[in-house]
């Protein structure tokens, strides 16, 4: 009897973001994601989250900010990790979420997962409620923006299922995501190392046809 694989407890957060995006863009064909694609997105979310948390702790220790992470600290730490146009988008969405006073249950990425990420650093520092709300929306926006890039790419290659290869292509074609990939490790299961990637596939994404929008213009 084949052993059933364990379900990643973080996967439902990402599935929910994809479902909402499918509804928002009004796709007639529903875009889905493979198991390995999901692992890649989980890896990306976890990777970026840990980098931001680490920068928060660095700021607390170097700037004499005490033992409490504020929204200002979280925002500054985020700006050190995320670059380019993605940084502006992330800050705008996260600040709007904080200003709207959403309850924890209204966020797609839930508090238990976020708190567990902080606990892995074995620190006594605490985080303000609004700061963790900001952090939740930062991660949600990163996943949403990556899905948007993938949806645009899948339209061009006439596919409906997101694979690790597609996520890697979108990472390579977007400056903000490429800098995250270049500086640290995001796991791309079943997609090979970046050096062995067939870069000819990028020509599909960088098509300058006036009738078709390129992925960088999305």
Q: Does the pTM exceed 0.85?
A: no
Nearest to 186 by CA among 21, 19, 40: 40
Q: Which domain holds residue 180?
A: 11-217
Please report, in angstroms and rounded to a whole number, the separation of the first and last CA atoms in the chain. Answer: 46
Question: Residue 79 sits in a domain of what CATH number?
Answer: 1.10.20.10
pLDDT tens per residue across span 59-97: 888 765 568 889 999 999 999 999 888 999 999 999 998
- When divided into structural domains, the chain yields a total of 1
Rounded to whole angstroms, how far apart are CA atoms 145 and 133? 18
3, part of any domain: no
pLDDT band at 136 (very low <50, low <70, confident <90, very high): very high
Rounded to whole angstroms, how far apart are CA atoms 113 and 28? 32
Q: Which residues contact 49 (CB under 8 A, 6 or more apart)?
A: 114, 117, 135, 139
Q: Which residues contact 66 (CB under 8 A, 6 or more apart)?
A: 60
106, part of any domain: yes
Rounded to whole angstroms, how far apart are CA atoms 177 and 196? 19
Mean pLDDT of the chain: 77
Q: Which residue has the higher pLDDT, 213 or 13?
A: 13
């Amino acid at each position: 009897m084949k052993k059933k694989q364990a379900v990643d407890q973080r996967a439902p957060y990402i599935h929910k973001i994809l479902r909402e995006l499918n509804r928002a863009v009004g796709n007639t064909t529903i875009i889905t994601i493979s198991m390995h694609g999901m692992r890649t997105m989980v890896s990306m979310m976890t990777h970026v989250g840990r980098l931001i948390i680490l920068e928060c702790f660095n700021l607390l220790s170097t700037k004499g900010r005490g033992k409490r992470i504020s929204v200002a600290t979280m925002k500054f730490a985020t700006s050190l990790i995320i670059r380019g146009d993605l940084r502006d988008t992330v800050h705008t969405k996260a600040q709007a979420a904080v200003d709207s006073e959403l309850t924890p249950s209204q966020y797609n990425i839930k508090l238990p997962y976020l708190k567990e990420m902080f606990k892995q650093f074995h620190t006594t520092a605490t985080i303000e409620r609004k700061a963790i709300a900001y952090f939740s929306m930062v991660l949600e926006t990163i996943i949403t923006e990556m899905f948007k890039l993938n949806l645009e790419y899948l339209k061009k290659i006439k596919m409906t299922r997101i694979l690790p290869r597609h996520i890697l292509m979108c990472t390579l074609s977007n400056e903000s995501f490429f800098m995250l990939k270049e500086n640290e490790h995001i796991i791309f299961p079943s997609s090979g190392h970046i050096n062995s990637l067939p870069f000819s596939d990028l020509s599909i994404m960088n098509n300058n046809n006036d009738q078709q929008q390129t992925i960088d213009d999305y």
